[in-house]
Amino acid sequence: MLAVAFDSAGSAAVKDYIRPAELSQFMFDFMGWDRSLSAHAAAPTYPCLIDERHVVGELYNMINVPTAVWIDEQGSIVRPAEPAGASDGFRFMDRQTFEIPRDAAEAGKRTKTTYVEALCDWIEKGEKSRHALAPEEVRRRMRGLSWNESIAAASFRLGVWLTKQGHAEAGQKYLDDAVRLRPESWSFRRQRIVLADPALTGQFAATPEYWEAVQALGEEGQYYPQIAMEGMPPPYRPK
């Protein structure tokens, strides 16, 4: 197990999340956790890294968090990048009270639990797990970057570098280009928002601009794509 945080601000952005004294109910509902899954969340026994340059995201084509890749002991990808049990229930949150409808929170927990149970099944059974994909299916689910996506990645990298060198205005231009060329990359969008305002370092980039982009997905759009996995519940839709 290896956890990687993507944040251009490095340790300054994640220091308040390392061994927190407690986890709020909001985080349980937002992330789809329940107490049994998060009992040891503040004391991981596996490596936890901070990727300031988003290298892992580039290599595995990750556009959002949390995203997981299953890799076996031989270094072969068993499941390519996919949402790590995350779901869209948070989109129906009351942004004034930060309360998530109970049915949305419960749906998120079912999705997270299903994913964690599948992961445990693979850890126990290896290639015999029904959740371990055949090599041809792994290849089918993976794809290279398009021209626009490649330019978006280069623009993002340059925008971050310019911002860190003190050229914030020039950096924002390239970060804008990255979001424009790959609007489905929420990682690009969040970093663009935070890098535009240092006061947001370490905070969730839940600005009006961010929520406007989320709401623009509409009823049929998905923030987290449906996880193609046996037993996975359907996407949450309000009743």
**Residue 204 identity:** F
Angle between helices 186-196 and 168-181 (to 10 degrees): 160
> For position 238, what pLDDT does the model report?
80
> For position 93, what pLDDT does the model report?
87
**13 alpha-carbon distance from chain centroid:** 16
Q: How many CA atoms lie within 13 A of 59 on its CB side?
A: 10
Q: Mean pLDDT for the chain?
A: 89
**Residue 117 identity:** E
| Stretch 212-226: mean pLDDT | 92
pTM: 0.88
pLDDT classification of 15: cutoffs 50, 70, 90: confident
Name residues whose C-beta falls within 8 Å of residue 132's C-beta, 6 or more positions apart in sequence: 70, 78, 79, 122, 125, 126
Identify which of 195, 191, 164, 173 has the alpha carbon closest to the alpha carbon of residue 58.
191
CB 193 within 8 A of CB 209: yes
Instruction: Encode pLDDT of 65-123 as tens digits.
Output: 999 999 999 999 999 999 999 999 989 888 888 888 999 989 999 999 999 999 999 99
Domain coordinates in residue numbering, the chain: 3-141, 147-215
Torsion region of 215: left, alpha or beta (phi above 0 gives left; psi -120 to 50 gives alpha): alpha
